[in-house]
Structure 1
Amino acid sequence: MRIAIIGAGGIGRGYAVLLAREGHAPVFWSPTGAAEADFAGGKPLTATGILPGELSVPVAASSAEAIDGAEVVIIAVTANGFRRVMEAIAPQLAAGQTVIVSAHCSFAALYLAKLLAERGLELPIVAWSTTAVTARKSGPTGVHISGVRSQVDIAAVPKRLETEGLAACRALFGDRFALRDDVLAIMLSNLNPPAHMANMLGNLTRAEKGEDWPNYGSITPAVGRIVEAMDRERLALAAAFGLTVRTVQDHYALSFGVEPGPVSDMAQAVYRKRPELLGPKSLDTRFITEDVPFGLLPLERLGAIAGVPMPLHQAGIELFSAISARGFRAENDLLPLLDLDGLSAVEVHRLAREGWAGC
């Protein structure tokens, strides 16, 4: 199958390697134009890590060129690029295609569904709770793939197209996907924001000074207790919407194959397996600039809608806004476009399941 990968960072490159190994035909489109520059002249993509090899991946000059003839479109950009990408691809998408958002946050699938509804088009938009690979760019034309997850939770907007969405995911990446209740459950299954917030707080000056520090090895008992306390807020919010989601311990066990226990113990077990994974060496990191406005803020908003206190999530937004001298509450460019203010918890949940059908 022809697969359009929107974004050519580490995750997009990792997907290209996996897809090519399964006989699919990936094509990149980079909204910044970086992929065209990196792979100019037909330079190959070189993979290291658990899936070493070299392959040629075509790079489209436009979103229309990438999407034309593609059976599946995978959005693999950071959350602060979602709006730009979705507004670029929405006019090009056509009946019969499936869109995957990897990984999903901040009602992104709902925003794309809204753009398509304005065209009178409805497609399976599949939201992933996390990425199927752990990978990073290694130089202009390289990718280092350090892991492939055994299970990824997914849901589709609208829910009634979830069977088609699940089939597309499995056709591309195998039987590693589990359907959850709906896209709201996927939003409430994103464990990166609380874990990243806690670890950045505990290692703030190390990141600011550009020091080497182990990402998982630095999740001490104190940092782990922050993660666990934030997890209790998230689980209470899910329960208010009648949803059951995995705990942070479940996430670690499924993602890394470590024994359940306190978060700090599980993180140290991951560190022993993956000591090469380092924390950010700057405060200008997606651990802050993506996870605060697009991870913490939407859960704070859902808490306000459902009447569930989210004090640690609120504190994280305020603390990192002060630390970074930025107004992170104003940096989420998706929430203002969804008109959630004034909706009840029941109405928000219905929207997450049905999209804009009949609106």
Structure 2
Amino acid sequence: MKKLKFAVLGAGNGGQSISAYLTLKGYDVKLYDKYDEVVAPLIEKGNIELRGVSLNGNAVISVITTDISKAVEDTDIILVTVPSNAHSFIANELAPVLKDGQVIVLCPGSTGGALEFKKILNYKNCSADYKLAETTSLFYACRAKEGVANISGVKNILPIASLPSSDVDYIINLLDDVYPQLVKEENVIASSLNNLNAILHPIAVLLSTSWIEATGGNFKFYYDSITPSVGKLIERMDAERMSIGKALNVHVKSAADSLKTYYSATGDSIYDMVRTVKAYEPISAPPSLNSRLLFEDIPMGLVPMVELAKLVSVNVPTMNLIIDLASQVLEKDFREEGRSLERLGISNMNIDELNKYVSNNFECTQGGK
């Protein structure tokens, strides 16, 4: 069996960490980012230094480029690590250059990533015979700056789902050498609803607004932002997410169970549990409200959850409260910018049709965006 070749699309925290890890594992990796100002320092440095609890060392990436066709050429696995706001851009760019046999994995898909990605590829008449999957989270808790990537924690178990769901075993087996923690998720509806970032991040950021603006984020995000009262509000919104999953007939883990699975967390509440996650200890709050913890996790995380709730007539007052509060504070219409059922390509489906689509992948004929 030939040695797999990887393309990593997105050179942020996750992209730099993944690229360095795979390279140090002995794999050929091409790293792409849209922005010259992101790519240029990495090319000048000549390597990415990986630190933390995973492999340590200097990884010389074979190709670092702003040309997506060059990045994915002659590769087997395409790991998409851009913020989920950019999934639509990547899908449009990939559509004409994908080749038969390539596997795309959104790391992570946020809420509805694979659905949106598939809809765009269909709309762009992508003819390649590819496979598409999404993880429920990133493989690591990590940060990267100026070619130095630090992994503070590696998830023990990480669910992955494919579209259609029948492809997932093949993809897990393909990635077993590099990411043995991958386990099969039921389908992309389950993986979308198991998006923990959308539950943990927005409430903690919004209710720390004055502290963030006063200190520039000079405090520990998870340890200091998630106080007992904030933790209870997170648990309330988490219960709404679980109700959506139940109505859609998919298994959804509670935030508490996810923290146990990912990081072996312990405790009787979200407040208690986050303080037992060592990977969270070094992570500071964002320096401003202009953070992906809001600008990604609300429109690409909470908004599509609310959209799915509409599909099954589930009441989600806490989710709606947080979306509306963020829209007011940041003067952004997150509902308009977010992933609607139409944007996911499922607006005309009932529950049975949706389950058939994600399982058997019958053709969706709704137009693209």
TM-score tier after normalising by the smaller chain length: over 0.9
* 2:217 and 2:284 in contact (8 A); partners too: no
| Aligned-partner SS, 2:281 | coil
Deviation at 1:67? Answer: 0.8
What SS is found at the alignment partner of 1:269?
coil
The runs of 5 or more residues in structure 1 that have no matched partner are none
Partner of 2:142: 135
Contact 2:119 2:345 in 1 (8 A): no
Q: In the TM superposition, what is the alpha-carbon distance from 1:339 to its structure 2 partner? A: 4.0
Is it true that 1:284 corresponds to 2:290 in the alignment? yes
Which residue of 162, 181, 187 maps to 2:186? Answer: 181
Q: Tell me, in whole angstroms, the C-alpha distance in 2 between the residues paired with 1:334 and 1:62.
A: 30
Partner of residue 34 from structure 2, selected from 31, 34, 42:
31
- 5+ long unaligned stretches in structure 2: none
Q: Show the counterpart of 2:98.
A: 93
Amino acid at match of 1:124: K
**Identity of matched residues, %:** 22
- Counterpart code for 1:270: V
Could you state the TM-score of these two structures normalised by the residue count of structure 2? 0.91
Deviations 1:282-341 (Å, cap 9, x if unpaired)? 110111111111111000000000111111111111010001011111222675434433
Residue identity matched to 1:228: E
CA distance in 2, matches of 1:331, 1:242: 28
Please tell me whether the aligned partners of residues 249 and 262 of structure 1 are also in contact (alpha carbons under 8 angstroms). yes
**Matching of residue 227 in structure 1 with residue 234 in structure 2:** yes
1:52 equivalent among 44, 53, 56:
56
Q: Distance in 2 between matches of 1:126 and 1:342?
A: 23
Whole-angstrom distance in 2 between the partners of 1:264 and 1:358: 42
Instruction: Note the C-alpha offset of 1:357.
Output: 3.7
1:17 is the counterpart of 2:20: yes
1:107 alignment counterpart: 112
- Equivalent residue runs for 1:162-311 within 5 Å: 162-173=168-179, 175-209=180-214, 210-218=216-224, 219-270=226-277, 274-311=280-317
Supply the distance in 2 between the matched residues of 1:287 and 1:8 (Cα, whole angstroms).
18
Q: Which residue of 2 aligns with 1:149?
A: 155
Check the 8 A contact 2:51/2:57 in 1, yes or no: yes
Q: Check the 8 A contact 1:111/1:334 in 2, yes or no.
A: no
CA offset digits 1:61-94 (Å, max 9, x no partner): 4111111110100000001111111111121111
Preserved CA contact (<8 Å) 1:104 1:187? yes
3-state SS in 1 of match to 2:246: helix
Task: Provide closer, same or farther for how the CA distance between residues 358 and 241 of structure 1 changes in structure 2, counting only shifts above 3 A.
Answer: closer
- Name which of structure 1's ranges 291-300 and 29-38 shifts more when overlaid on structure 2: 29-38
Q: Which amino acid aligns with 2:110?
A: C
Instruction: State whether residues 27 and 59 of structure 1, in contact with CA within 8 Å, keep that contact through their aligned partners in structure 2.
Output: yes
CA RMSD of aligned residues (A): 1.9
Contact 1:108 1:334 in 2 (8 A): no
Read off the aligned partner of 2:60 and give its amino acid letter: S
Matched, 1:325 2:331: yes
TM-score by length of 1: 0.93
Aligned amino acid, residue 56 of structure 1: V
Cα deviation for residue 36 of structure 1 reads 3.0
Q: What does residue 124 of structure 1 align with?
A: 131
Q: For residues 90-137 of structure 1, give each alpha carbon's deviation from its aligned partner in whole angstroms, at most 9, with x where no partner exists.
A: 211111111110011232212332344433434221110001111111
Q: Deviations over 1:38-73 (max 9, x none)?
A: 223462111222233112112134111111110100
CA distance in 1, matches of 2:14, 2:355: 30
Match of 2:201, as an amino acid? H
The answer to whether the Cα contact below 8 Å between 1:49 and 1:145 also exists between their aligned partners in 2 is yes
- Residue aligned with 2:275, SS: helix
Aligned to 1:355: 361
- 1:190–1:180: structure 2 CA closer, same or farther, 3 Å change rule? same
1:6 aligns with 2:24: no
CA distance in 2, matches of 1:358, 1:213: 46
Distance 1:129 1:69 in 2: 27
Q: Which moved more, 1:153-162 or 1:52-61?
A: 52-61
Cα distance between partner residues in 2 of 1:112 and 1:181: 19
Query: Structure 1: which amino acid aligns with 2:158?
Result: V
Q: Is the 8 A contact 1:5 1:76 kept in 2?
A: yes
The residue identity in structure 1 corresponding to 2:23 is A
Q: Which amino acid aligns with 2:238?
A: D
Distance in 1, Cα, partners of 2:115 & 2:349: 15
**CA distance in 2 between partners of 1:41 and 1:323 (Å):** 39
User: In structure 2, what is the Cα distance between the partners aligned to 1:182 and 1:125?
Assistant: 12
Tell me how far apart the structure 2 counterparts of residues 334 and 95 of structure 1 sit (CA, whole Å): 30
- SS of residue paired to 1:130: coil
Mapped partners of 1:148, 1:90: distance in 2:
32
CA–CA distance in 1 between the matches of 2:357 and 2:211?
42
Aligned residues: 356
| Residue type at the aligned position of 2:246 | A
Question: 2 CA distance for matches of 1:298 and 1:30?
Answer: 26
